[in-house]
């Protein structure tokens, strides 16, 4: 069997690692900007599918399917982002005779539209935030302002995802401008300017449930995750299990996710997301019909390889797991390492990685596609690595993650490593008092001069020793040479 991974970066390598364990041959696709990326070397074969612009490569359905056909792939895994939630891509893959490792295209169509997803959740008996299940039309803004409306409200893209296409209106005076901005952002990000209104839940917690369905009504739940630490509606730190949930709350939210999965006859991995208010009432938000960025924390506490289960289900059509087999052990926390500068309002950064030292030790996992000499560009998402820590309890996981963040050294590129460590060290996070507005009121301490000097000195010393060895810093072409020696790499370039 040969599987094409229609993605890049750390998630592409993550999928390929499981494929290697399963004895499945892998194909990487890459843009011209990613020619020297690590996932192209790790795969058994690699195919160039176009220019750096995502619309000409990772979002180009015809080029990806042509690559699959030319190289003889049997299956496609979309990862997360890009085309992972695109029902047209799933349908085109299946029409081409490929195994699409994801939900049915018709299910993705329902869930990809947040309004139809809300309707499906209501029909399944889930509590949904108040508001209409119809979009806000271009000429409706003034009418809605005149009607009773409780502010603040969120203006959200119906085709949204990843925190994009969401704007906050604190008053009726702001609504006109916010609606226009949200429409423009939604159209630019998703090609669809449809938006709707949703009340803002104050001091809410963002809790999600991982499910796996066989498409015939059987749903397995792998527990919940706490994803409340967010910046600009994008998750930054996630953990499993969610702290401070009572046993009854955990059962209720899990059963709600399972019920929606039954209603949809859900197939493959999916994540049902909820907001929980101050009174422990939870409301359905959406379903992400794909593998999640934060899936490692669930793997760490359950011992299951979710990608493996997803692939085996897609290939065999059977889900052999039973709910009684899912047990939970300890706690796990993930921190997203971003190429962003906290001192410059988290603007994306770029540069060449001049030095790299990833952490290790008990309970530490690194999901990354970084290597020394790698050029990090601003062409794609700023996520460059994920650091995950497991412990016998939440405090142990926090301590290990703090240690891991301290050990992580990335030279030549500004990242959020110190900022993440400051969040973990804060008293509210330590005691589990976290909400989706946590970072709105969070003021990190300045990085101490001693810590800064020590880190800079260590990196400078390591670079000096490295350069004294009479060999240049590994160029991108040399990166991953051990994989290059053991993997057959065939590069095919498609013309425009």
Rg (CA), the chain: 23
Mean pLDDT of 184-200: 81
Q: Number of structural domains, the chain?
A: 3
b/e burial code for range 459-469 (CB count within 10 A of at least 16 → b): beebbeeeeee
Question: Cα 194 from chain centroid?
Answer: 23
Q: Is the pLDDT of residue 304 over 50?
A: yes
Q: Pick the range with the lowest mean pLDDT from 80-89, 97-106, 472-481.
A: 472-481
Q: Is the pLDDT of residue 352 over 70?
A: yes
Say what the pTM is.
0.88
**Residues 179, 316 within the same domain:** no
* Region label for 92, one of left (φ > 0), alpha (ψ between -120 and 50) or beta (otherwise): alpha
Do 227 and 312 share a structural domain?
A: yes
Q: Which of 199, 218, 249 is the last residue of a domain?
A: 199
Residue 491 domain flag: no
* Same domain membership, residue 408 and residue 322: yes
Residue 167 confidence (pLDDT): 87
* pLDDT over 70 at 439, yes or no: yes
Q: How far apart are CA 204 and CA 248, in angstroms?
A: 18
- How many other C-beta atoms are found inside a 10 Å radius of the C-beta of residue 443? 8
Least confidently predicted of 102-111, 113-122, 125-134, 230-239: 125-134
One-letter-per-residue 3-state SS of 179-195: HHHHHHHHHHHHCCCCE
Could you tell me which residues come within 8 angstroms of residue 470 by beta carbon, excluding any fewer than 6 positions away? none
DSSP 33: G
| 72-97: average pLDDT | 97
**For position 172, which CATH number holds?**
3.30.1490.20
Which of the pair, 164 or 286, is modelled with greater confidence? 286
Return the pLDDT at 138: 66
Residue 113 lies in a domain: no
SS (H, E, C) 324-392: HHCCCCCEEEEEEEECEEHHHCCEECCEECCEEECCCCCCEEEEECCCCCCEECCCCCCEEEEEEEEEC
pLDDT at residue 461 tops 80: no
- Please determine, for residue 483, whether its predicted confidence score (pLDDT) is greater than 90: no
Q: Is 294 within a domain?
A: yes
- On whether both 138 and 10 belong to a single domain, the answer is no
Same domain, 308 and 422: yes
CA distances from 15 to 22, 43, 310 (A): 11, 10, 10
Q: How does pLDDT run across 12-26, given as a tens digit for each residue?
A: 999 999 999 999 999
Q: Which residue has the tokens 């790698």?
A: 374
- Asked whether residue 261 is domain-assigned, the answer is yes
Residue 477's pLDDT band, with cuts at 50, 70 and 90, is very low
Q: Is the pLDDT of residue 292 over 50?
A: yes
Predicted local distance difference test score (pLDDT) of residue 495:
44
pLDDT for 421 equals 98
Does residue 446 lie within any of the structural domains? no
Q: What percent of the chain has pLDDT over 90?
A: 73
Query: What are the start-end ranges of the H helices in 4-113?
Result: 9-22, 38-42, 61-71, 87-95, 105-112
Considering only residues 136 and 205, tell me which one the structure prediction assigns the higher pLDDT: 205
pLDDT band at 471 (very low <50, low <70, confident <90, very high): low
Which has the closest alpha carbon to 221: 164, 271, 273, 162?
271
Coil, strand or helix at 164: strand
**Residues 215, 134 share a domain:** no
* Contact call for residues 163 and 233 (beta carbons, < 8 A): yes
Q: What is the pLDDT of residue 473?
A: 47
Q: What b-and-e string marks burial along 55-85, b requiring 16 or more CB atoms within 10 Å of the CB?
A: eebbbbeebbbbbbeebebebbbbbbbbbbb
In a shared domain, residues 286 and 143:
no
Please identify which of the residues 14, 183, 267, 290 carries the catalytic annotation.
Answer: 290
> Region 365-381: what's the mean pLDDT?
96
Tokens of 83: 């085309």
Q: Residue 266 is encoded by which pair of tokens?
A: 């859900």
Token pair for residue 496?
């425009």
What average pLDDT does range 77-99 have in this prediction?
Answer: 97
For residue 184, being part of any structural domain is answered with: yes
Say yes or no: 224 and 320 in one domain.
yes
Per-residue pLDDT band for 482 (boundaries 50, 70, 90) equals very low
Contact 190, 157 (CB under 8 A): yes
Give the SS3 label for residue 40. helix
Q: Tell me, what CATH number does 267's domain have? A: 3.30.470.20
Residues 165, 288 within the same domain? no
Q: Both 209 and 331 in a single domain?
A: yes
- According to the model, what pLDDT value does residue 142 have? 53
**Co-location of 281 and 221 in the same domain:** yes
Mean model confidence pLDDT for the chain: 89
Judge whether 134 and 118 are in contact, CB under 8 Å: no
Which pLDDT score is estimated for 184?
85
At which of 199, 224, 257 does a domain end? 199
Residue of 155 and 62 predicted with greater confidence: 62
CB neighbours of 384 closer than 8 A, spacing ≥ 6?
A: 9, 10, 337, 338, 339, 368, 369, 370, 376, 413, 415
The CA distance from 392 to 381, in Å, is 33
pLDDT at 457: 53
Percent of the chain exceeding pLDDT 70 equals 86
| Active site (annotated) includes residue 329 | no
Q: Per-residue pLDDT for 144 more than 80? A: no
pLDDT at 349 over 70: yes
Q: Report if residue 243 sits inside a domain.
A: yes
423 and 325 in a single domain? The answer is yes
pLDDT in tens, 169-191: 888 888 888 888 888 888 777 77
Residues 308/314/320/324 CA torsion (nearest 10 deg) = 60
Pick the more confident residue, 186 or 9.
Answer: 9
Q: Which of 83-92, 136-145, 188-197 has the lowest mean pLDDT?
A: 136-145
Do the domain assignments include residue 488? Answer: no
Q: Cβ of 252: how many Cβ atoms within 10 Å? A: 16
Query: What's the domain range around 412?
Result: 205-440
Average pLDDT for 347-352:
96
CATH assignment at residue 62: 3.40.50.20
∠ Cα 304 281 119 (to 5°): 80
The model's pLDDT over 310-345, given as tens digits with 9 standing for 90+, comes to 999 999 999 999 999 999 999 999 999 999 999 999
The answer to whether residue 140 scores a pLDDT higher than 90 is no
DSSP letter for each residue of 104-159: -HHHHHHHHSHHHHHHHHHHTT--B-SS-SS---TT-HHHHHHS--PSSEEEEEEE
């Amino acid at each position: 069997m040969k599987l094409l991974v229609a993605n890049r970066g750390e998630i592409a390598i993550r999928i390929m690692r499981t494929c290697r364990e399963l004895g499945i041959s892998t194909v990487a696709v890459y843009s011209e900007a990613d020619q020297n990326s690590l996932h192209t070397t790790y795969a058994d074969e690699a195919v160039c599918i176009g220019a750096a612009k995502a619309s000409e490569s990772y979002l180009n359905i015809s080029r990806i399917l042509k690559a699959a056909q030319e190289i003889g792939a049997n299956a496609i895994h979309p990862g997360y982002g890009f085309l992972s939630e695109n029902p047209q891509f799933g349908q085109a893959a299946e029409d081409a005779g490929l195994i699409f490792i994801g939900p049915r295209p018709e299910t993705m169509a329902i869930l990809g539209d947040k309004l139809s997803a809300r309707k499906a959740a209501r029909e399944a008996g889930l509590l949904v935030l108040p508001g209409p299940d119809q979009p806000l039309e271009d000429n409706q803004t003034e009418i809605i302002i005149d009607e009773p409306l409780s502010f603040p409200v969120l203006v959200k893209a119906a085709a949204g995802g990843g925190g994009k296409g969401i704007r906050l209106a604190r008053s009726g005076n702001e609504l006109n401008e916010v609606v226009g901005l949200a429409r423009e952002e939604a159209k630019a990000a998703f090609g669809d300017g449809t938006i709707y209104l949703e009340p803002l839940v104050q001091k809410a917690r963002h809790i999600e449930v991982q499910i796996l369905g066989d498409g015939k009504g059987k749903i397995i739940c792998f527990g919940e995750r706490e994803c409340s630490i967010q910046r600009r509606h994008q998750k930054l730190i996630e953990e499993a299990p969610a702290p401070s949930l009572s046993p009854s709350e955990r059962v209720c939210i899990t059963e709600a996710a399972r019920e929606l999965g039954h209603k949809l006859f859900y197939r493959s991995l999916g994540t049902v997301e909820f907001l929980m208010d101050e009174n422990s009432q939870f409301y359905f938000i959406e379903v992400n019909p794909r593998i999640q960025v934060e899936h490692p924390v669930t793997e760490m506490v359950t011992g299951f390889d979710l990608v493996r289960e997803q692939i085996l289900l897609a290939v065999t059509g059977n889900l052999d797991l039973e709910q009684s087999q899912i047990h939970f052990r300890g706690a796990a926390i993930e921190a997203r390492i971003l190429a962003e500068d906290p001192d410059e309002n988290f603007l994306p950064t770029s540069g060449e990685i001049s030095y790299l030292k990833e952490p290790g030790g008990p309970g530490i996992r690194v999901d990354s596609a970084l290597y020394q000499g790698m050029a990090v560009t601003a062409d794609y998402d700023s996520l460059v690595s994920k650091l995950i820590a497991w412990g016998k309890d939440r405090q142990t996981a926090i301590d290990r993650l703090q240690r891991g963040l301290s050990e992580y050294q990335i030279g030549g590129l500004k990242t959020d490593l110190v900022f993440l460590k400051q969040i973990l060290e804060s008293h509210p996070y330590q005691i589990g008092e976290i909400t989706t507005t946590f970072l709105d009121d969070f003021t990190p301490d300045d990085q101490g001069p001693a810590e800064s000097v020590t880190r800079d000195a260590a990196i400078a010393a390591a670079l000096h020793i490295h350069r004294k060895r009479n060999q240049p810093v590994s160029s991108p072409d040399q990166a991953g040479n051990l994989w290059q020696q053991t993997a057959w790499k065939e590069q095919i370039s498609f013309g425009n």
